[in-house]
Amino acid sequence: MSTYDEPEPTHRSESTSPPDDAVQVLDTDGTLLPGAQRPALTDQALLEMYEELVLARRFDERATGLQRQGRIDTYAPMRGQEGSQVATSFALDDEDWLVPTYRDHAAKHAHGRSYEALLTHLSGYREGYAVPDDVNALPEYIPIGTQVPQAMGLAWGFTMQDPHDRAVLCHFGDGATSTGDFHEGLNFASVYDVPTIFVCNNNQWAISTPFEAQTATETIVEKADAYGVEGVRVDGTDPLAVYAVTRAAVEKAKHPAEGERRPTLIESCQYRLGAHSTADDPSAYRSEDDGEDWEDQDPIERLERYLYHEGILDDDLADEIADRVEDCLATAIDRAEATETDPTRMFEHVYEEPTDRLREQLADLDGLRERHGDDAFAEVGE
């Protein structure tokens, strides 16, 4: 029984889906909208995008289940947002850099990170945060908005290494646009004209704060005018539309026309269908029917219907893809859970030289391991 009067969840987002002014390519039935064109993607590339979306959805479901079983730490679900994450990464070239948040699991995988690595760091192993030599994706950022000026700095560094052919794509949520880092990052990116693409994944909720309480402006994208950069608002549940606007922004960042500014602010309009994290209960702050008009905007079903319409996908191929997805996730989970490390490594790199207090803690840990063995710690973890 609760010991206090719980507030009634009365908030309701005022957003509608899809926004009238957002770029769209696909209707919800999977047909091209009047005047829209399919992006320059081959049939094979479209199938790869679809498989990446299916994989993302299943990873989300499996990761949530693993967290509930105590096999990984707190997890940030992404259901409904997979289309924007996958499509933005598909628009990047291998040499481009991705600067993600804690929710961008699919974006990281689509740019080359393995799901095994993502599960490893969610299990508490710092090795999972390492940046592989062959994948240009930084570890996820937990503090809100801090990655925006850092992405700008990364791109600025590239411009000082002329010639270069790399762009930097930075993800953040609508809550990050209330931080000083957002404004500083965009301002400097514009002033120094660096090759950046800023993607605001506007999922309508910054934990329990609805978009309407986040900003007094109608949109996020209109803030681009204040910094003198191009702004584009796109339907984030339409993978082909997100790909098209992001690819154009990447091309402009690396090869601007004479007098054209390199940075772009993309507002990708989506809805967070699930909780902010597995430590969160959204029913405490939003109504049950909030966001119900976004349910029909499922990015996976939208692209799937298009592929069926075009004869690119059929039932047999869909089954093959589903089987590959399950095999991929089973392998990733097995390998991540087989990861072993020396627990004393947690004391490394805290300071250049260990303090007396750290040495005492390390000695205490060594004593416990000697008396009880490492298996005792595993039993506590279970």
Catalytic residue set: 272, 276, 285
CB 167 within 8 A of CB 251: no
Measured between alpha carbons, how far is residue 370 from residues 248, 347, 358, 377, 379 in Å?
59, 18, 18, 12, 16
Tokens of 4: 């206090």
Contact status, residue 240 vs residue 49, Cβ threshold 8 Å? no
Give the C-alpha separation, 359 to 192, whole Å.
Answer: 46
Q: What is the Cα 85 distance to its own chain's centre?
A: 6
**Whole-angstrom Cα distance, residue 159 to residue 165?**
9
Query: DSSP H helical segments within the chain, as ranges?
Result: 43-68, 82-90, 105-110, 115-122, 147-159, 180-191, 211-214, 224-227, 239-254, 299-309, 315-337, 356-372, 374-381
Distance between CA 30 and CA 303 in Å, rounded?
Answer: 6
The DSSP string of 38-104 is --S--HHHHHHHHHHHHHHHHHHHHHHHHHHTTSS------TT-HHHHHHHHHTS-TTSEEE-BTT-
Query: What is the Rg, in whole angstroms, of the alpha carbon atoms belonging to the chain?
Result: 22
Residues 6+ apart with CB under 8 A from 183: none
Q: How far is CA 243 from CA 34, 96, 165, 234, 273, in A?
A: 18, 15, 19, 10, 22
- Sort strands 230-235 and 264-269 into parallel, antiparallel or unpaired: parallel
Q: How far apart are CA 261 and CA 196, in angstroms?
A: 10
